[in-house]
Chain A
Amino acid sequence: MARFLQAVTDGILGGAVYALMAAGLTLIFGVMDIINIAQGILVVLAAYLSYALSVHLHIDPLLGLLITVPAMFVLGIAIEWAFMRRLRGRERVAMSLLVSYAVAVIIEGALYQIFGSTPVGYLPSYAVASVHILGFYLPYIYLIGFGLAAVALAAIYLMLYRTKFGRSVRATMQDRVAARLVGINVDRVAALTFGIGVAVTAAGGMVFGATNTFNPDSGYDLISRLLSIVILGGLGSIAGALAAALFMVTAEEIVNIWQPTWATAVYYAVLVIVLLVRPTGLLGKREARAQ
């Protein structure tokens, strides 16, 4: 029983971080109708950045966020401006998929070139220590990750619902043309949203790198998880991404108790079952018909 509760706790704490990264992904989709396949490798890139800062410059990863978050934000804007914006025509969505896949491949290749394929990791002092409460072990790093995710998600929520910019974002999500007509600079909204969606990978990457050894290949596992979470929660719904992430990661932790090798399969099994019943995901934008 205790192991079960421990698994649930781990799931919630870990799931929050995935929720944050998935929120970025779903936000990008909601505003721009783009599925950013590069999100996974961007997390890995952020992890490498934290790694480089930590190991080579001896900057604490948490402090390093002050550098990595803006860096990833700028990178996101650059990607949107350079590539996503240029896509025109009816095949936009399809092309955006391939374009973001291409960007992912480029980043992955670059990471291999710079860092090689040997897995690396960095363990700040607080990664190994944990808080001991009521018989449960709560590793500091997970608590920090949960805290970061909570803060970031709250910030995103506040941005969306309490700021003028957030209103522009929501308007663009609902109807791009109408938003333009009322004077919203849709291009700027798109660029900034993409930037935000990528910036969250900085936090996720930091936690990911501190809790796993990783190499550029880790991007695939990440993106497949993030995609599953986003589909499960419904493309475009941040709340859905949050719920789905917590659910999936917790489920995986629970299965991990009995059958570690098949734990990742739980992810996909859940996805398959939910989609069979509800093709639009748990909280997705209601789609009238397949198109």
Chain B
Amino acid sequence: MSGSTVSGGTVSGGTVSAGTVTRLTAIAALLAFAVAFPLVFTNPAVTTDAIYTLIFVAWAAAWNTFSGYSGYLSLGHAVFFGSGAYFTAIATHDWGLTGSQVFWLLPLAGLLGGVIAVPFGLFALRVRRHTFVVITIAVFFIFQLTAYNLAVTGGTSGLLAPTINFATATYNNPFYYIALGIAVGTVLISWLIRRSRFGLQLRAIRDDEDRARGLGVRAMRVKLSAFVFSAVPVAMVGGLWWYFITLVDPSSGFDPLNDVAVALMAFLGGLGTVSGPVLGALIIEPSYLYFQQQVSAGYFFWILYGVLFLVVILVLPRGVIPTAAEWIGNRRDRRRRNGAGAEDRPPATTVTGRAKELA
């Protein structure tokens, strides 16, 4: 997404097309809605679900900034989530923090996530893509195993959070706004990265790493930077999540299903696009929560998850947003060609132009 429009063979930077204006308005409206949400929908059950959803929006957006752009699929980001959760828990207990003080730990949790990502990335990013995924899975299990076995992490029972003295009526609100802040921030940086030189390099690596290297792209440095960046928001929401549900244990802090879910969200919405993971999370997480509450007993929703996943992968391999973009672009194309005064634009440009705007 280079952000400039091309017409008739010259590049005019800075022209604001009608599409961009509608897009900005839509984003502004969405943000306004999100900010007003807990004040309008005060039912705690609803805001609780919203918090979970925002956590996954942040996670999916962060994950996509690395895996979507670079093409290296990580199934180990739960490492950062769990580490963030455990760190926040341990620090809260060790430093005797209470109430809102705990929230100040979140940036530190994010920092920890980034720090862990450095050796993790240095180790895992040296190999080919298949091996990379498997290594992320292996490292994930190492962390889970460690959580089970260390005394400081509370072993199998995990670590509880101290009772919080927020007002009952607006209890969820601080959590909500922090989650919203992290999510918005992550999406914003993800967008900035995509249109930047750094993002260009990442995407070149995804398309043809050897060729990119041959053109001077410092592949390892680029991949590692993206990996480290993607770890920070995930660790932060991990810490927030612990404080919110007041408990972390090895199986929930390091839950492999989360990694799968996040990948699914990004794929569904459109891997490698900015808004794709957001859309995916907004669709999948509330659906999951809804199903979980409806189907009270049994593991039915596991099966459902898996089936949904298969359907998405096989039917919509590029995800909703790119497919929708192309569909809209094709329709506009047809209308334009059929209508009077058709512009002198090759079809390919129009499709991708629209795809650019939405991507």
Chain A residues near B (Cβ < 8 Å)? 29, 33, 35, 37, 83, 86-89, 91, 93-95, 97-99, 101-106, 108-110, 112-113, 220-221, 223-224, 227-228, 230-231, 235, 261-262, 264-265, 268, 271-272, 275-276, 279-281, 287-291
Contact = CB atoms under 8 A, between A and B. Distances in A.
A275 B299 contact: no
B24 to A, nearest CB: 31
B121 interface: no
Contacts of B307: 102, 106
B123 A98 contact: no
B250 to A, nearest CB: 12
A86 B314 contact: yes
A285 B127 CA distance: 12
Given A102-B313, A224-B137, A231 B145 contact: no
Contacts of A112: 298-299, 302
A109 B129 contact: no
Q: Which of A108, A280, A290 has the most CB of B within 10 A?
A: A290
Contacts of A235: 130-131
30 contacts: A86-B314, A87-B314, A93-B129, A93-B130, A94-B133, A97-B133, A98-B267, A98-B313, A101-B260, A102-B313, A103-B310, A104-B306, A105-B309, A106-B306, A109-B299, A109-B301, A112-B299, A113-B298, A113-B303, A223-B137, A231-B134, A264-B145, A265-B149, A275-B127, A280-B127, A280-B131, A290-B127, A290-B129, A290-B132, A291-B210
Contacts of A276: 123
A291 B145 contact: no
Contact of B209 (A94, A97, A101, A290): A290
B300 interface: yes
A264 B298 CA distance: 30
A230 B131 CA distance: 10
B130 A33 contact: yes
Contacts of B134: 35, 227, 230-231
**Closest 10 pairs between A and B when the two form their complex, measured CB to CB:** A109-B302, A106-B306, A112-B299, A102-B309, A105-B306, A109-B303, A224-B141, A109-B299, A102-B306, A268-B142
B141 A113 contact: no
A106 B132 CA distance: 24
B234 interface: no
Nearest to B263: A98
B323 to A, nearest CB: 13
B128 A291 contact: yes
Contacts of B213: 289
Nearest to B144: A220
B210 to A, nearest CB: 6
Contacts of A103: 306, 310
Nearest to A106: B306
Contact of A95 (B125, B256, B313): B313
A279 B126 contact: yes
B202 interface: no
B135 A231 contact: yes
Contacts of B141: 220-221, 224, 268
Contacts, number: 142
A235 B131 CA distance: 8
B75 interface: yes
Nearest to B140: A224
A275 B209 CA distance: 21
B264 interface: yes
A105 B75 contact: no
A94 B256 CA distance: 17
B305 interface: yes
A99 B210 contact: no
B328 interface: no
Contacts of A29: 130
Nearest to A236: B130
Q: Which of B123, B213, B303, B306 has the most CB of A within 10 A?
A: B306
A279 to B, nearest CB: 5
Given A94-B71, A102-B307, A290-B125, 11 more contacts: A35-B134, A102-B309, A106-B306, A106-B307, A224-B138, A227-B134, A262-B149, A275-B127, A279-B131, A288-B210, A290-B129
A99 B313 contact: yes
B314 A98 contact: no
Contacts of A221: 141
Q: Which of A97, A110, A271, A288 has the most CB of B within 10 A?
A: A97
A97 B132 CA distance: 12
A29 B133 CA distance: 14
B230 to A, nearest CB: 16
A180 B219 CA distance: 34
A220 B138 CA distance: 11
A279 B142 CA distance: 18
Interface string B214-248: 00000100000000000000000000000000000
A112 B301 CA distance: 11
